[in-house]
Structures are given as C-alpha cells and as structure tokens.
Amino acid sequence: MIPALLLLHAPTLVHLSAVDMVIIVLYFVLVLTIGFYLKGQAKTGEDFFMAGREMTAWIAGLSFLSANLGSLELMGWAGSAYQYGILAAHWYWIGAIPAMLFLALVMMPFYYISKTHSVPGYLKLRFGEPSRALSSISFAFMTVLMSGINMYSMALVLKVILGWNINFSILVSSITVAAYVALGGLRSAIFNEVLQFILIWAGALLIPILGLIEAGGFSGLKARIAVNASAEYTHLWSTLGHFSENPMGINWVGIVFGLGAVISMGYWTTDFLVVQRVLAAKDIRAAKMAPIIGAGFKMLVPFIVVLPGLLALAVLPFKLVGQDVAGSAGHSYNEVLPLMLARYCGPGLLGLGITALIAGFMSGMAGNVSAFTTVWTYDIYRALIKKNEDDRHYVRMGRWSTLAGVIISIVTAYFVMQFASIMDYVQAVFSFFMAPLFGTVILGMLWRRATPAGGFWGLLSGTLTSIGMWSWVKADPTALRYVALSPHAKAMAQDMFQALWSCSVCVIVTVLVSLVTKPKPDAELIGVVYGLTKIPQEEQVSLFRRPVFWAVVVGLAFVVVNIIFW
C-alpha cells in the first residue's frame, strides 16, 4: 500500500519557495502551541485518556473523520481513482456511510452507557478477560507498527516530493507528535485533528475546482476519460455485474457484502483508533451525532481524493504507471495528488498543499499513538500488570507510554527501511483482526445468549480463517479463484471475500460454542446487551437537533450520489 518505495530515484516533484516554508513552519508552531496550551487540562485519567468526555458533536465528529484521513489514504486512493476510476469512491460511500450511521444509531449507546475506555474494555464487560487480552494485545502491537509505517511513509513521500532528508522528516514529525500528545493527551490529539481537517480541505480543495475548469466541467471530464481510458471509469455500479466487466476485477457481492457489510462495519464500529474520538463526546446525543457529522463530511471526501485522480486521467499529458514499472523514467499512480498540486499551485498554495499532506500524516500518527496509549494503560498495564494504583499513576503511565509508543514507531520506521516488504505483511495482519472483531462485538451487543467462551473462540477462529486464506493465496495465487468464487477475480476482490469468510466463520463458531456453553447471568449483562439495557431518553430537542433526523438526511444523500454516478 505504500508503494512510494520505488520512487526513491525519481527527481523531486516540486520546489518550495520562502513563503511555502513559512506556511509549513507556521503549522508546526501552531500544533505545538495547542499541545502546550492544553497541558494544564490533562490532569486526571478521564482528562488525559478520554479528553474529559466533554467534546461537542462537531469536534468529536470532525476528529473521528480526521483520524482516518491520513495522507497515505489521500494519496493512495487518488492513485486508485486514476487506476480503477470512480469505483474508488465505493470506499468512501458504501464502504463508510452505512457503517458510520450504524455506529451512531445502534452501537454508540452501548459503548457510551457502559462507560468503557476502549473497545477491548467493552469486550471485557461482555465476554470477559481472555477476549479483552486477545483484542488489546493484538491492537496495541499492530497500532504502533502502523504508526511506524506511517512515519516512514511520510518521510519517504517528503523525500520524493521535496527532496527532504528522511532522518530529518522522521525526527521532526515524531518529536512534534510525541510532544503534543504527551502534553495534552487525547484532548490535544483531537483538537489538532480538527485543525488538520480544516487545513487538509483548505490545501486540497483547489485542485478539483481548477481541474474541473480545465477539463470543461464534469461532462468534459467524462468525455476526456472516455477517450484517454474508457467510459467504464466513470460508472459506480453499472460495471459491477461481473468480475471481468470493470478495471478492479470485483463484483457487486464483494462490494456490498465484503466491503459494505463486513470490512467497513469492522473498521468504523470496532477500530478503537476512530471509536475513541466518539467516546470522548460530552453526552449521548453528541456521541450519536458525531459519527453522523463525520458521515456527512466523509461523503464529500471523494471530491478532494477521487476527483483529482479522475481529473489526472483527463488532463495530464502523460500516462502514469504502476509501482513495479515506475522509476526514473515515469511517474506512478500514487504521485497523482502531488502532480496535480504542482500543476495548479504556485508559491503559497503549494506550501498549503504540502502542509495538508503533512497534517494528514501527523493526524494519522497521533491517532495511532493516542489509541495505543489508552489501550496499553487501561487494557494491558492496569488489567494485567498493575491493578489498583491511583489515577495519577495511570496518567503518568499514559505520558510515558506515549513517548514509548513514538519510540517504538521510530524503531519500526527504520526497521521497515531495511526490510521494505514487511509493510505489506503488517498491513495484511492488521486487517486479519478487523472483520472477526466486528462479528464478535455485534453478536455480543445484540444476542444475550452469546457466551464468553463463544466470543473468544469465535474471535480466534475468524482471525485464523483470515490468516489461513491470506497465506493460501500468498503461497498459491491461483487459489484466489476459490476465495473470491471467480477465476476473473483480482487482488482487490481478495480482501473483500476474505473478510466476508472470516466474519462468517466467527459468527458461526460464536453461535455454536455459545449454544453448548453456559451464558452469563442477565444481571451481568445490563448495560452491554440490547434488550437488557435501558437506553436513556435523549433530552427533548427540536427535530433538527435529533440524530435520527440527520441520519436520514445523510442516508438519503448517500442514495442520491450512488444513483447520480450509477
């Protein structure tokens, strides 16, 4: 996924002027200022790890989205849009919106009422310590590895785009993130993510605006793409009837059930990196509104990610190629955003665009580090190593584990530098846990008969299914035809069907084991299971302030955009 590796020998894409440098330095100064300013407000565990649970819906919602809006994602999906066309938008629409609305309306009340500090913490309440231990240790381990990969990727991209020294980039970004997260805790991470969200839009929005002017509007864009590539590239659903009819080699079953029903549900509802932001909301209405606000903005993200990729297909005078053939002679798909930035943006705007990329990297890194800190302190250190210490002890541990998380990330970054292929493995391993975790959590919330043994064995078997299928295809690529049920399936289809199978196995095993093991008494399930939990009534507010109303509005908009680009 971080294919910029082969770009090491490419010439520098852009050259910054003095005003660009001032804009970038100003960003770092502001980020650190916010960290120092909020230091005094992170004294208790609730302050440091949960931002005092006092975030408004807007702040929690924008931070929820920003933690996911890393630059690897921006650059990677812009490249995918160039490669696969508008199909890339599925990862922002059906691959996000239904899951975010489901989190808001169905799952958030349980997370919020249980007053858990984390998703593994919820598993402890529902299924017991073994499930929490399995989930928290794997999450903490993978999170710092991902943070290191993020750090290395940022340094590599800055080297390719600007010619900056890799060591300098890693050092500056890691010290900055460590400083503002260790000082202000989750509150500082969240506030900086909101700032980063605004800067990402301010820096990236001009590309599609100017691109559409150059291409002659959306109809001009479609006409040019039909000539330069194929008319299929601008259709969202009509080419998904069969694996061989679209550039991605996938069908609608993989997109709807694999991506929409399993992968996105798993990511948006159980990945603590994003859920932590919503848990910091000040009340249950804000906790429900936050993912809905995030969903509204998520639906707009293709405008600054997918559209530039499509515009590049229409207006660039040369062809981009895959990483395996890109070298000093050409540019790869993943350089779409910087290339479009350099095409339209002169001094000043270029600095803001680069700041947007750096902000995206740092929000992703800080999200990983702050989630690691909470899971380490509450679900591993306090649960398994040192129980019953006072609150100040755990805050101190939180600060130290922030620094430790950053140091492990730096070590990972240099390790990845030596063994580049490890990146693909780590990212694959991370995906192993996501789909079965969703099966476990959703069964735990909605089915009171699910037992602790069922939850643990379901989670384990689902994860092993994922690992088994991935290893099978790795050893024998032709096995993909069995995993995805088609000889025409391509790599993207593997992830979707692998997730679908692993979630199915998790659910089946959880149900079977639960039916033959002893369930928890109902009294222990109050507050964590649907049917046994009294959902508190929201305050009486007008229709326009009700989460359900806005969920319906976002849901309708989701249907409309899918029909428009059918």
Q: Which stretch binds another protein (CB under 8 A): 348-356, 396-404, 421-429, 460-468?
A: 348-356
Closest CA to 161 of 358, 317, 413, 376: 358
Q: Which stretch binds another protein (CB under 8 A): 14-22, 97-105, 112-120, 147-155?
A: 14-22
Q: Which stretch binds another protein (CB under 8 A): 222-230, 323-331, 349-357, 549-557?
A: 349-357
Is residue 346 close enough to count as binding another protein by CB under 8 A? yes
Minimum distance from residue 31 beta carbon to another protein (Å): 9
DSSP string, 432-491: HHHHHHHHHHHHHHH-TT--HHHHHHHHHHHHHHHHHHHHHHHH-GGGHHHHTT-TT--H
Which residue is it, tokens 């053939």? 325
State which of positions 156-195 bind another protein (CB under 8 A).
Answer: 191, 194-195
Is residue 32 close enough to count as binding another protein by CB under 8 A? no
DSSP string, 177-209: HHHHHHHHHHHHHHHHHHHHHHHHHHHHTHHHH
Is residue 282 close enough to count as binding another protein by CB under 8 A? yes
> What secondary structure, in 3-state letters, does 478-493 show?
HHHHHHCCCCCCCHHH
State which of positions 38-57 bind another protein (CB under 8 A).
Answer: 38, 41, 51-52, 54-56
Minimum distance from residue 12 beta carbon to another protein (Å): 14
Minimum distance from residue 205 beta carbon to another protein (Å): 9
Q: Which is nearer to another protein, 241 or 346 (CB)?
A: 346
Strand partners for 55: 281
Q: Which is nearer to another protein, 26 or 384 (CB)?
A: 26
- Measure CA 248 to chain center: 21
Structural tokens at position 281: 């909301």
Minimum distance from residue 187 beta carbon to another protein (Å): 8
Please count the other Cβ atoms lying within 10 Å of the Cβ belonging to residue 544. Answer: 8
Minimum distance from residue 37 beta carbon to another protein (Å): 7
Closest CA to 45 of 53, 37, 57, 56: 53
Structural tokens at position 255: 């997109």
Is residue 26 close enough to count as binding another protein by CB under 8 A? yes
Using the rule CB under 8 A, which residue among 8, 22, 411, 552 binds another protein?
Answer: 22
Is residue 33 close enough to count as binding another protein by CB under 8 A? yes
Is residue 23 close enough to count as binding another protein by CB under 8 A? yes
Please name the amino acid found at residue 522.
Answer: D
Q: How far apart are CA 202 and CA 215, in angstroms?
A: 21
Using the rule CB under 8 A, which residue among 199, 295, 310, 561 binds another protein?
Answer: 199
Is residue 345 close enough to count as binding another protein by CB under 8 A? yes
Size of the chain in residues: 566
Q: Are 314 and 215 in contact (CB under 8 A)?
A: yes
Q: Which is nearer to another protein, 357 or 459 (CB)?
A: 357
Residues whose CB is less than 8 angstroms from the CB of residue 537 and which lie 6 or more positions away in sequence, other chains included = none
Structural tokens at position 440: 């476990």
Taking the C-alpha atoms of 301, 354, 71 and 210 in order, what is their torsion angle to the nearest 10 degrees? 30
Is residue 240 close enough to count as binding another protein by CB under 8 A? no
Minimum distance from residue 342 beta carbon to another protein (Å): 8
Interface contacts to another protein, rule CB under 8 A: 17, 19, 22-23, 26-27, 30, 33-34, 37-38, 41, 51-52, 54-56, 58-59, 191, 194-195, 198-199, 202, 206, 210, 213-214, 282, 342-349, 351-352
